[in-house]
Amino acid sequence: MRIFSQRRTIFFTLIIAVYCFYSLAFGASGAEGDGHGGPVLDILIGLIVILLAAKLGGDIFERFGQPAVLGELVIGMLIGNLNLLGITVFESLSHDITLEVLAELGVIILLFEVGLETTVGEMRKVGMASFLVAMVGVIFPFFLGWGVGYWFLPESSIYVHIFIGATLTATSVGITARVLKDIGKIKTKTAKIILGAAVIDDIMGLVILAVVAGIISAVNQGAGDSVGTMTIAWIIIKAILFIVGAVLVGVYLIPTYFNLALRLKGTGVLLSVSLLICFALAYVAGIFGLAPIVGAFAAGLILEEVHFTKFHERGDHSIHELIEPISIFLVPIFFVRMGMMVDITTFTQVEILGFAAVLTLVAIIGKQACSLVIRDVHVNKIAVGLGMIPRGEVGLIFAGIGAKLMLDGEPVISVSTYSAVVIMVMVTTLVTPPALKMVMLTRPAEEGM
Amino acid sequence: MRIFSQRRTIFFTLIIAVYCFYSLAFGASGAEGDGHGGPVLDILIGLIVILLAAKLGGDIFERFGQPAVLGELVIGMLIGNLNLLGITVFESLSHDITLEVLAELGVIILLFEVGLETTVGEMRKVGMASFLVAMVGVIFPFFLGWGVGYWFLPESSIYVHIFIGATLTATSVGITARVLKDIGKIKTKTAKIILGAAVIDDIMGLVILAVVAGIISAVNQGAGDSVGTMTIAWIIIKAILFIVGAVLVGVYLIPTYFNLALRLKGTGVLLSVSLLICFALAYVAGIFGLAPIVGAFAAGLILEEVHFTKFHERGDHSIHELIEPISIFLVPIFFVRMGMMVDITTFTQVEILGFAAVLTLVAIIGKQACSLVIRDVHVNKIAVGLGMIPRGEVGLIFAGIGAKLMLDGEPVISVSTYSAVVIMVMVTTLVTPPALKMVMLTRPAEEGM
């Protein structure tokens, strides 16, 4: 059947693609008889571009021995900045709300998958280590960032400096989880310590952010600190309630859910119930003020193989096999889109670059302190420090909140500070995959669970 | 581990659910420190409600020997009309653009899956039968609908009557495909004739719609019929181009795509490439003015097992196993949402009910003529007629276009006509699953491929 040469195939494919983009760009679609289409066509072209880019980017980087996720990020950056070359056809992809939601679902599914590969027992084993790593990984970058803020913006308020410190606290566990998964090291003790610490420092970072934002609001409203204290207390209580609640759900409710689910007729019950638990905990984390991915990870953590045995007995696939295709479909959307969010032009502004360089440096150095608290010789200390580096979407969300928060008529995070944070996020995200891969693969002797 | 009784589990789950809905309804979420969340939380709660409703609805209907899809539709109707009881918390789900897109992706995946279970060779075998069934299934309902329009709305323009006829033409293949899949009859000759005919009559229906809409536009602009003729010709040419193009892509390009894909490093290549082909053909169908699901079905049709053998040799799962979890996740969203779109109050308006009843009657009777053209004794004639009954989303889209199209200052499809079309769509959708299931299962002796 292979009548055409590969060159011809690519040629014809390009012709079809050009026609499609022409239709997209000039609205030729549906000029007459637009019986169907509408928003779904925009998403289809977005998914085509993203899935194709993800596979090609991943392939190129894997050929150079780099993790696929880095290729997805870099190719996303290229697509997102094509408008600099006058190619504006992809610009709408960065702002599409549906693609944003699909990307968020992707990272939720990824953390659920990672959580599934971990059990509560294993987490309890690394619990103390993770907690210490998280503490150090929050405190050092926070105060270093505060100092850098004071150094570069001496005339700004102390709250601005604190806010800059806060943007450095939370680890973006998505990148590290993906790298560890790609190189087959997700089940190591090192991986579990990093993942546990990333979840804990996300919570700590959110508490700091909420506290700082609360104080700034109180200052703005001329209210006393009492409002702030109440707010702080409530945020901390909610975070603790969520963690305790998730564990209780896991121990007391999950087995009964699966017993009830076993009685359901129809196909796909195991996957549907698992997705329901994942989405429900992600949602509850969200309304508790935490990141939905924290809930998704918790859901994966509390679901154990023992819950699925009766489903396996009746011939269902394992939950890993069922989740994987959804993950293959949705996860690259998150990473390509994260790359697309980067504005390459910020690289060219010298005054921002200096601030960004120092901020990035303390972001990286600050997390290396994490390796100091590791006592276990079976754990790859350097990998723990490296795995905590990426700041990803959490840092960007923090900076975005700061940009909207006003203090004395000025945004807490100015435009140039925001750019510096973006560069910091970008560099920490880009350096982690190759560094982590190298350290995990060249020093495997220390590993063991 | 099963310490709690099931009653207690349900009790605690309800408490958590009530708290979540309270947060959702009164915006308690993210009041302070809304570090994450945003649109993804709305989607998570939407997915939770829809997946839970789909599983419960499907379970209840399967217990009564009905197809699960009917349960999903009915429970969707209940959720969508809870506002009648003053419960408005779910109202936003019907209008959420992201859920709409997820639902559309769901029906695209469903038709892709159905297409995968069919080969071009098998379709060629039933091609002539499908074409005849489609022709009859378009012509009879079209003229019957035209007549009903003339009878109930004698003072309206002839174009209004033609438009009403057009809303009766296209079969909603999603419902029939899902029923045949649920009862394990998707690989029968009867199924293939129905699916082929549904695809063909969707194209025919779109051509009629495009032609009528084109003529009305031309009349409105005071232009001659020459514009209309050009428009008509171009629509027909585009539809033929798409079909021919899809077949050529299948024969000449697909094998090369998979050979190129085999060289890609990284995981999930087989699924990603298959999804890319599905989304690409769905998109191309869309810009050709056809339904994206027609493209998705065509993509499934042209992908054959032979393309995947080298992937299977290196240990990949089969494409069916890879697509199924995505289908389990997304397809119920489409059917629950279709139910949610129904406005139950239209049932209570007597003047609309008469029109709707006659319209529904001719919609059902018109498609039964399809069984007359079946000569093959191995084909379940009655099932062919029944399988063509549902009008589903295509009829609703047609009516929606008519509602926006103006003629002499009046919409072509008035509010009451729209309600009548909605009832027709609803009834044809609801009667098909039980009827088709009964006929396919009680007369299996005639089956054989």
pLDDT interval class at A214 (50, 70, 90): low
Q: How large is the average pLDDT for residues A305-309?
A: 73
Which long-range contacts link A341-345 to residues 24+ away (Cβ below 8 Å)? A341/A76, A341/A80, A341/A94, A341/A396, A342/A76, A342/A77, A342/A80, A342/A81, A342/A422, A342/A426, A343/A80, A343/A81, A343/A419, A343/A422, A344/A77, A344/A81, A344/A84, A345/A81, A345/A84
Taking the C-alpha atoms of residue A405 and residue A414, their distance in angstroms, rounded to an integer, is: 10
Taking the C-alpha atoms of residue A402 and residue A14, their distance in angstroms, rounded to an integer, is: 44
Taking the C-alpha atoms of residue B384 and residue B348, their distance in angstroms, rounded to an integer, is: 32
Q: Crossing angle of helices B189-220/B225-248, nearest 10°?
A: 150
Q: Which parts of chain B sit beneath pLDDT 50?
A: 1-3, 27-36, 224-225, 445-449
Q: How far is CA A351 from CA A152, A160, A421, A429, in A?
A: 10, 18, 13, 22
Residue A226 pLDDT > 70 = no
Residue A377 pLDDT > 80 = no
Closest chain B residue to A61, measured at CA: B265
**DSSP structural state of residue B377:** T
Residue A25: predicted pLDDT: 53
**Spacing of C-alpha B314 from chain mean position:** 36
Burial of A124 (0-12, 13-18, 19+ CB in 10 A): exposed
Give kind and range of the element (H or E) at residue B410: strand B410-411
Closest to A130 (Cα-Cα) out of A357, A333, A373: A373
A189 or B361: which carries more pLDDT confidence?
B361
Residue A19 pLDDT > 80 = no
pLDDT interval class at A28 (50, 70, 90): very low
Of A272-276, A379-383, A444-448, B312-316, the poorest mean pLDDT is in A444-448
Taking the C-alpha atoms of residue A8 and residue B252, their distance in angstroms, rounded to an integer, is: 10
Residue A277 pLDDT > 60 = yes
Q: How large is the average pLDDT for residues A106-121?
A: 81
**Chain B residues close to A280, C-beta within 8 Å:** 44, 48
How does the average pLDDT of chain A come out, rounded? 78
pLDDT tens for A342-372 read 777 777 778 788 888 999 999 998 888 888 8
Residue A418: predicted pLDDT: 79
Say if the Cβ atoms of B63 and A265 lie within 8 Å.
Answer: yes
Of A2-11, A285-294, B347-356, B438-447, the poorest mean pLDDT is in A2-11
CATH class of B100-446: mainly alpha
pLDDT interval class at A20 (50, 70, 90): low
Closest to B163 (Cα-Cα) out of B437, B428, B407, B356: B407
Residue A153 pLDDT > 80 = yes
Taking the C-alpha atoms of residue B411 and residue B409, their distance in angstroms, rounded to an integer, is: 7
What's the token pair of residue A334?
């998150």
- What predicted TM-score, i.e. pTM, was given to this entire model? 0.79
Taking the C-alpha atoms of residue A437 and residue A418, their distance in angstroms, rounded to an integer, is: 29
Taking the C-alpha atoms of residue A266 and residue B219, their distance in angstroms, rounded to an integer, is: 51
Q: How far is CA B347 from CA B84, B352, B363, B364, B398, in A?
A: 13, 8, 18, 19, 21
First to last CA, chain B: 50
Q: Crossing angle of helices B254-262/A6-26, nearest 10°?
A: 100
Of A26-40, A49-63, A152-166, B298-312, the poorest mean pLDDT is in A26-40
Say if the Cβ atoms of B59 and A213 lie within 8 Å.
Answer: no
Cβ-nearest to B9 among A4, A6, A256: A256
Of A28-42, A127-141, B70-84, B424-438, the poorest mean pLDDT is in A28-42
Say if the Cβ atoms of B33 and A68 lie within 8 Å.
Answer: no
**DSSP structural state of residue A409:** T
Residue B31: predicted pLDDT: 36
Say if the Cβ atoms of A55 and B290 lie within 8 Å.
Answer: no
Residue A10 pLDDT > 50 = yes
Cβ-nearest to B251 among A1, A52, A260: A1
**How many residues would you count in chain B?**
449
Q: Is there a contact between A353 and A423 (Cβ–Cβ < 8 Å)?
A: yes
Cβ-nearest to A37 among B100, B211, B292: B292
Range B191-203 burial, b when 16+ CB lie within 10 A, else e: bbbbbbbbbbbbb
Residue A5: predicted pLDDT: 64
Say if the Cβ atoms of B33 and A206 lie within 8 Å.
Answer: yes
- Helices (H), strands (E): how many in chain A? 19, 2
Q: How large is the average pLDDT for residues A117-134?
A: 78
Residue A157: predicted pLDDT: 81
